[in-house]
Amino acid sequence: MKIAVLGSGYVGLTTGACLAETGNDVICTDIRRDRIDALRNGEIPFFEPGLQSLVVQNVAEGRLKFTTDVAWAVRESYIIFITVGTPTDEDDSADLRHVIAAAGDVGRAMDGERIVITKSTVPVGTARLVREAIEAETEHAVRVCSNPEFLKEGAALSDFRKPDRVVLGVDDEGAAEVLRDLYAPFVRTGNEILVMDIASAEITKYAANSMLAARISFMNSIARLCERTGADVDMVRIGVGSDRRIGPTFLFPGVGYGGSCFPKDVKALARNMKRMEVDASMLDAVEAINTRQKRCLLERCVDRFGDDLTGMTFAVWGLAFKPNTDDMREAPSLVTIRGLLDRGARVVAHDPVAMSQARRILGNAIEYRGLNYDALDGADALIIHTEWNPYRRPDFARIRTLLRRPIIFDGRNLYSPVTMSELGFEYYSVGRPPARPREDG
């Protein structure tokens, strides 16, 4: 099939590369010339495991092209995906300006019938606005569909190639058949293609992300209760997750969610519900709890050392909001780091892939180290924000030697409090009693 993808960001590039891999001819567009030039040279503007090699392979084999010429891409294609950004607007709603602008570009370039698919995360009613924007520019027939993405950063290729489900919002059976055929290579193991009305598809993405965010905030509230009562949130998590009606996923407490999806999608859904006069207090609470939880490691540092941290040094392991990505958007690490800096502390950080992004945000306000152990030298404590694999089984004897004091604040519950006590560490985690060094540790 001949496909154009408008927007070569995270969703667009993953979509384009995966569809090209199954034999389609794909043209990815972007308004940024520097991004297109980089992509033509095999340079990916963000970190996603496996994506760079997939892009390079499909470009070399002629199935994937990049251009700033949207009109050419539209004329060369029958299926058009809109994957441009929908950032949070000033009122917390989704900013649809780029989506509507892309739709207008499609309408002006069309020289015949097209199928146009909104894959960006958009509120209910957006497909209608897209149709109106296209039809205002052309007399050619257009079939507008909704096909929300469900890609996890760090696992996007796997999610696209082996989806839990593919959601298609359509009002035209002909378009549904085309899209079933397009996605057929990805559902050979029996995962469902769910065909529904457009409004239902648009709501599904927001509802799914908000449900997952709600589970995280709920468990973080339970973690706070465990800390007040001396309970162990790991035991509670296992007990709750063993209920088949609930299941174990997204029940791990931590320092709160971040990234490009959950924060803005929870806010946008709440805003949309309020506009429709539907009670959104649950989503407001999810967001408020998450905002509070991002401060938990900072609060622990202040509780332990006091509010004036002048002259102290803190090592930070993990800057990205989750492992296997360099995404720093809404990262909890930023809340901790800025709070430490405001109190006079020095911060030395390590992250396997996100330090370039951190430099763009924090500049030289903190120091960066290429090896995780190098960040520890002379630090008063280690703070862990991201559960990267290299942090899971470190050399604890080496950590004790490098730190000025054997103190660890763990925002991801990577280690056993009992083990840390035996190894001689003062150890603070989330939702579990703090560990003190054993006298013989």
Q: How far apart are CA 241 and CA 238, in angstroms?
A: 5
* pLDDT per position as a tens digit, 234-280: 999 999 999 999 999 999 999 999 998 899 999 999 999 999 999 99
Active-site residue identified among 28, 261, 296, 301: 261
Which of 141, 176, 196 terminates a domain? The answer is: 196
Find the mean pLDDT for residues 190-202.
94
Same structural domain, 192 and 226: no
Residue 160 predicted with pLDDT over 60:
yes
State residue 439's pLDDT score: 66
Sign of the torsion formed by the C-alpha atoms of 337, 340, 344 and 345: negative
Examine residue 433 and state whether it is found in any structural domain, yes or no: no
Examine residue 141 and state whether it is found in any structural domain, yes or no: yes
Examine residue 95 and state whether it is found in any structural domain, yes or no: yes
Same structural domain, 276 and 232: yes
Same structural domain, 170 and 236: no
Residue 150 predicted with pLDDT over 60:
yes
Same structural domain, 26 and 171: yes
Same structural domain, 288 and 308: no
Examine residue 441 and state whether it is found in any structural domain, yes or no: no
Identify whether 296 is a catalytic site residue.
no
Same structural domain, 265 and 409: no
Instruction: Answer whether 139's CB lies under 8 Å from 107's CB.
Output: no
> Domain count of the chain?
3
Q: How confident is the model at residue 190 (pLDDT cuts 50, 70, 90)?
A: confident
Instruction: Answer whether 124's CB lies under 8 Å from 202's CB.
Output: yes
* pLDDT per position as a tens digit, 17-53: 999 999 999 999 999 999 999 999 999 999 999 999 9
Instruction: Answer whether 201's CB lies under 8 Å from 169's CB.
Output: yes
Residue 168 predicted with pLDDT over 50:
yes
Same structural domain, 299 and 275: no
Find the mean pLDDT for residues 70-79.
98
* pLDDT per position as a tens digit, 326-373: 999 999 999 999 999 999 999 999 999 999 999 999 999 999 999 999
Residue 75 predicted with pLDDT over 90:
yes
Examine residue 322 and state whether it is found in any structural domain, yes or no: yes
Which of 292, 307, 329 terminates a domain? The answer is: 292
Number of neighbours of residue 116 by Cβ within 10 angstroms:
26
Same structural domain, 364 and 308: yes
Q: Residue by residue, what is the 3-state secondary structure of 150-190?
A: CCCCCCHHHHHHCCCEEEEECCCHHHHHHHHHHHHHHCCCC
Kindly report the CATH number assigned to the domain that includes residue 243: 1.10.1040.10
Examine residue 312 and state whether it is found in any structural domain, yes or no: yes
Examine residue 228 and state whether it is found in any structural domain, yes or no: yes
State residue 260's pLDDT score: 85
35 contact partners, CB below 8 Å, separation of at least 6: 8, 45
Find the mean pLDDT for residues 64-74.
97
Whole-prediction pTM = 0.92
Same structural domain, 186 and 226: no
Find the mean pLDDT for residues 201-206.
95
Same structural domain, 302 and 422: yes
Which of 247, 268, 292 terminates a domain? The answer is: 292
Q: How confident is the model at residue 440 (pLDDT cuts 50, 70, 90)?
A: low
Kindly report the CATH number assigned to the domain that includes residue 328: 3.40.50.720
Backbone angles phi, psi at 217, to 5 degrees: -65, -35
Same structural domain, 213 and 276: yes
State residue 441's pLDDT score: 42
Residue 88 predicted with pLDDT over 90:
no
Same structural domain, 223 and 133: no
Structural domain range at position 84: 2-196
Examine residue 438 and state whether it is found in any structural domain, yes or no: no
